[in-house]
């Protein structure tokens, strides 16, 4: 069986980490929070590798233990495209779009615990989300998380693509 990487793609505040934490309860999938890896990278002193290379190395490490790993991303930018292309050469990939409207996302970002997130201003969140809302990929699943979606529905939808 080829190892499978599930990528939750959505705006900051769309609920990617929430959904990943639900999925992490399933024994067959390991959720890897990417933003804390970036926080550590940005606060660290060794920048001999790019942040994306550091994230990819951690994904590779998780695949030494698990056959299915899930990460989160905005899915935007040239750096992401190169990261995604590199991962596709090694793993089967399932793309999951997590949708929530811009206002809901900004409100969630303002209210969440910032400890494991890159600290940025509200205006920067809005700017990033304006870019990220236009990401179009070949989605394997779309989750409407404006509500947020009930945990049981999220799990059922994700189990359908495992």
- Report whether pLDDT(31) > 80: yes
End-to-end CA distance of the chain: 12
Closest C-alpha to 31, from 41, 42, 19, 40: 19
Summarize pLDDT for 42-62 with one digit per residue, the tens.
888 788 889 999 999 999 999
Q: Which two tokens stand for residue 136?
A: 């179009």
**Which pLDDT does position 149 carry in this prediction?**
83
Chain position carrying tokens 């599930």: 6
| pTM tops 0.95 | no
* Contact of 32 with 69, CB cutoff 8 Å: yes
Q: Which two tokens stand for residue 26?
A: 């399933």
Closest C-alpha to 134, from 71, 74, 73, 52: 74
* Contact of 24 with 86, CB cutoff 8 Å: no
Summarize pLDDT for 98-132 with one digit per residue, the tens.
999 999 999 999 888 777 677 788 899 999 999 99
Q: Which two tokens stand for residue 89?
A: 């050469």
- Report whether pLDDT(1) > 70: no
Q: Which two tokens stand for residue 38?
A: 């970036």
């Amino acid at each position: 069986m080829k190892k499978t990487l599930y990528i939750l793609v959505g705006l900051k505040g769309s609920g990617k980490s929430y959904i990943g934490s639900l999925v992490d309860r399933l024994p067959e999938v390991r959720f890897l929070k990417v933003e804390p890896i970036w926080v550590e990278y940005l606060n660290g002193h060794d920048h001999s590798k790019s942040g994306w290379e550091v994230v990819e190395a951690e994904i590779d490490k998780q695949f030494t233990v698990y056959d299915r790993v899930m990460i989160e991303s905005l899915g935007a930018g040239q750096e992401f495209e190169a990261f995604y292309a590199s991962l596709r050469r090694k793993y089967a990939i399932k793309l999951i779009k997590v949708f929530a409207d811009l206002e809901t996302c900004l409100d969630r970002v303002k209210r969440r615990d910032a400890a494991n997130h890159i600290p940025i201003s509200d205006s920067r969140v809005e700017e990033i989300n304006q870019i990220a809302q236009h990401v179009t990929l070949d989605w394997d699943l779309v989750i409407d998380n404006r509500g947020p979606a009930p945990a049981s529905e999220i799990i059922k939808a994700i189990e359908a693509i495992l």
